[in-house]
Amino acid sequence: MEPTADPVDRLDPVILHHVVNTLGWPDLRPLQRAAIDPVMDGEDVVLLAPTAGGKTEAACFPVLSAMSAQGWTGTSILYLCPLKALLNNLVTRIDGYAQWLGRSAALWHGDTKELQRQRIRTNRPDILLTTPESLEAMLIGVKTDHAHLLGGIRAVVVDEVHAFASDDRGWHLLAVLERLQRVTERPIQRIGLSATIGNPHELLTWLQGSGSGRRLGRVVAPGLTNPSGHVPTAGVAGPPPGDIELDYVGSLSNAAKILSALHKGEKRLVFCDSRRQVEELGAALRARDVTVFLSHASLSADERARSEQAFAEARDCVIVATSTLELGIDVGDLDRVVQIDSPGTVASFLQRVGRTGRRAGSARNCLFLATEKDTLLQAAGLLLLWGRGWVEPVVPPPEPRHLVAQQLLATTLQEHKLGDQLWPEQWNGLAPFDRSAAPILRHLRAQGFLDTDGGMLFIGPEAEHRFGRRHFIELTASFTAPPQFTVLSGRTEIGRMDPSVLTEERPGPRRLLLAGRSWQVTFIDWGRKRVFVESVESGGVAKWSGGALVGLSYALARAMRDVLLGADPQASLTRRAKVCLQEWRDEEAPHLVHPGGTLVARRGNDVRWWTWAGYRANATLGATLSSIADPVQRPTDCYLRLREDLDPRMWRTALEAAQDGPALVLPDVDQRAVRGLKFSAALPHRLAITTLAARLADFDGARAVLSEPKHFSARPNP
């Protein structure tokens, strides 16, 4: 269809009326205008804008107009989010837009009560807000007639699509959408909403799945495109205006002291990159009589909701959070964002700083408080990348064989039986859920996960044993969460805690730190994994098992090297930060970096190759150069430890073999990591190991290091 002179005229007149008279908007934003034609024409699109850029309305207004114009009935639009909290935050707004047209929206996720689910099955809403995991549960569950509920889907909106694409939930999402298209028997329009990333066109191709190359697709990013109409590789042309400050405070307790004294009367959102930091900082702020709220994944849903609601309604207060509040959850009108230490990516920083500057006349701002010298350097490197206009590309994790196994089982459960030759049709030829998965299928049959009879596949006894509890609910989640104990005060759930807090030896009464408050353990129900507590004045430990170590990227590690060599980030540095960075440059840098390449530094028996290449590249180098790498080490972001008896001949021989050899070597995998790979039990062990090794590798970064000049230095022991 040819675009009209003004695309806004294509929107349903009722929507236009409410935009002006209900919302009070004088006009639509550029993204919202630019999205109208491609969305209403049924194209697959990625709508790209910074946080608070109006992406939800950019998708909803034209897709609701298409629903009205084309007479869609039943549940015709899916709205998928990575977080239940984000769905909770959006459902009232989206239902309000739908009601303008006499339509409705409803919410379905893991916390939705069965009575509400039954209402949805009986009276299908026009828009269903859910997660991919809940969508798959609908497909395989016995209570839901998925053909009746989902057979009329015409379009799917994937909010925060970059958050999906960067981990295994993205592969799971794509596979479930392909199976949904088998139910609808028609292509489904895919609309992705994304924050600023470095490779939006690749993200669009990924989102299109099996439709890539066959369906029209477009990246819509007004204001972020160059004159040729393409989004620049770096994602943004330069840093957004605002007030970015970097300070070095030396400890978390000092950070609490500064936060309690600075910006009183303002609403401040403080990001930490661990739950333990959130708890300890929250307790320290509360001890200083600061009104503080907490949000992280191990707090109960009710506890998080109470915190977020209270914070949204308060003024002079602080909310301390992990990345749970990085995505587009509305916590009201913020005055300031504070970052403890540094996030691991520029994209994450852009999400966080985008929570500010939404009021007219206000600017985006972020105050970094580095508690250690190392995190000060990381923050400076990150801000250097940001100042250069660089944003990470979103790259799906490679070789998701464990999810291929999961999908084969889940689809067999959904269909009750599956043709042993026709199974690839369920995913419309999408790799890796195509015939390349045949070895995994053979393993599932050989190990009893699947049975075969008369050319058909059925769920086997091993799948029943491994995943059959609670109607196979374990099959719908693409990740494994470490075991945690539920913490209860009376009948109120506070959250969840690592069991090691309950078992490790400690003097005195056993106390926990959770929700920013101290609790004394009164009883532990080991069988049901529950711990009962009562409130106390102070003390306590916060602890959770971490996820898989991925480390810093090649780009960020190299930016940190640039800072040591004298590059200054495009931010305001406090006097303390300047002094600390200068100490780095004067005292440490000569032994860590060389302007002409990488540096091999010997200090007594300690030999380190300062590559500044990131964790994955260093892990790859360590495996490839196994003859000279210290076998008893874990790679770091900045260096690789070499054998203490290294001599020039050994060095030359190893490098020549790596540079002239057939290929670099995949990193070694800790056997314990295999147990953390969800569905690894349904894979041949060697394929599980290969999958994890591929995810640890950075061949491009390793090759770049091998091609650079190497310099050598030695200094005596202190």
Contact criterion met (CB below 8 Å) for 418 and 452: no
Task: For residue 271, give the 3-state DSSP assignment.
Answer: strand
Instruction: Find the helix or strand (DSSP H, E) in which 246 lies.
Output: strand 242-248
Same domain, 345 and 411: no
Same domain, 471 and 490: no
Least reliable range by pLDDT among 33-42, 154-163, 301-310, 519-528: 301-310
Q: Does some domain include residue 570?
A: no
Beta-carbon contacts of residue 613 (< 8 Å; ≥ 6 apart): 554, 557, 558, 621, 698, 701, 702, 704, 705
The enclosing domain of 425 has a CATH number of 1.10.10
Rounded to an integer, the average pLDDT of 347-360 is 80
Q: Does some domain include residue 586?
A: no
Separation between Cα atoms, residue 453 and residue 417, nearest integer Å: 10
Name the residue range of residue 463's domain.
401-475
Asked if pLDDT for residue 95 goes beyond 80, the answer is yes
Least reliable range by pLDDT among 190-204, 225-239, 576-590, 685-699: 225-239
Same domain, 108 and 174: yes
DSSP, res 640: E
Cis peptide before 432 (omega within 30 of 0): yes
| pLDDT given for residue 330 in this prediction | 67
638 token code pair = 């900045």
Q: How many CB atoms lie within 10 A of CB 647?
A: 9
Same domain, 419 and 358: no
φ, ψ for residue 261 (rounded to 5)?
Answer: -100, -30
Same domain, 500 and 615: no
- Nearest of 234, 546, 550 to residue 397 by alpha carbon: 550
Among residues 362, 387, 412, the one where a domain terminates is 387
Q: What residue type is 157 in one-letter code? A: V
Q: Does some domain include residue 193?
A: yes
Residue 479's pLDDT band, with cuts at 50, 70 and 90, is: low
Q: How many CB atoms lie within 10 A of CB 320?
A: 31
Q: Does some domain include residue 460?
A: yes
Contact criterion met (CB below 8 Å) for 31 and 53: yes
DSSP, res 188: -
- Nearest of 376, 126, 117 to residue 249 by alpha carbon: 376
Beta-carbon contacts of residue 227 (< 8 Å; ≥ 6 apart): none
- Nearest of 362, 295, 301 to residue 323 by alpha carbon: 295
Separation between Cα atoms, residue 425 and residue 208, nearest integer Å: 17
The enclosing domain of 359 has a CATH number of 3.40.50.300
Q: Does some domain include residue 49?
A: yes
Asked if pLDDT for residue 312 goes beyond 90, the answer is no
Same domain, 467 and 602: no
* Residue 477 vs residues 106, 468, 496, 565: alpha-carbon distances, Å: 22, 13, 19, 45
606 forms beta bridges with: 603
Q: Output 232 or 570, whichever has higher pLDDT.
A: 570
Q: Does some domain include residue 56?
A: yes
Separation between Cα atoms, residue 2 and residue 646, nearest integer Å: 69
Residue 505's pLDDT band, with cuts at 50, 70 and 90, is: confident
pTM: 0.89
Same domain, 409 and 285: no
557 token code pair = 């590690």
Q: Does some domain include residue 168?
A: yes
Rounded to an integer, the average pLDDT of 492-521 is 88
How confident is the model over 275-285, as pLDDT tens digits? 999 999 999 99
Q: Output 673 or 711, whichever has higher pLDDT.
A: 711
Contact criterion met (CB below 8 Å) for 397 and 168: yes
Same domain, 213 and 269: no
Residue 236's pLDDT band, with cuts at 50, 70 and 90, is: very low
Asked if pLDDT for residue 286 goes beyond 70, the answer is yes
Rounded to an integer, the average pLDDT of 429-458 is 93
Same domain, 27 and 123: yes
Asked if pLDDT for residue 364 goes beyond 90, the answer is no
How confident is the model over 557-604, as pLDDT tens digits? 999 999 999 999 989 999 999 999 999 999 999 999 999 999 999 998
* Residue 369 vs residues 252, 344, 577, 588: alpha-carbon distances, Å: 9, 15, 9, 22
Same domain, 349 and 437: no
Among residues 336, 363, 387, the one where a domain terminates is 387
Task: For residue 546, give the 3-state DSSP assignment.
Answer: coil
Separation between Cα atoms, residue 572 and residue 556, nearest integer Å: 19
| pLDDT given for residue 2 in this prediction | 54
Sign of the Cα torsion 475, 481, 485, 486 reads negative
Separation between Cα atoms, residue 334 and residue 616, nearest integer Å: 36
How confident is the model over 390-436, as pLDDT tens digits? 999 999 999 999 999 999 999 999 999 999 888 999 999 999 999 99
Distance, C-alpha 105 to centroid of its chain:
26
520 forms beta bridges with: 511, 534
Q: Does some domain include residue 118?
A: yes
DSSP, res 211: G
Region of 420 please: left (phi>0), alpha (psi -120 to 50) or beta: alpha
Distance, C-alpha 553 to centroid of its chain:
15
| pLDDT given for residue 632 in this prediction | 86
446 token code pair = 């050989």
Among residues 387, 418, 438, the one where a domain terminates is 387
Query: What is the tally of structural domains in the chain?
Result: 5
Same domain, 66 and 163: yes
Same domain, 432 and 494: no
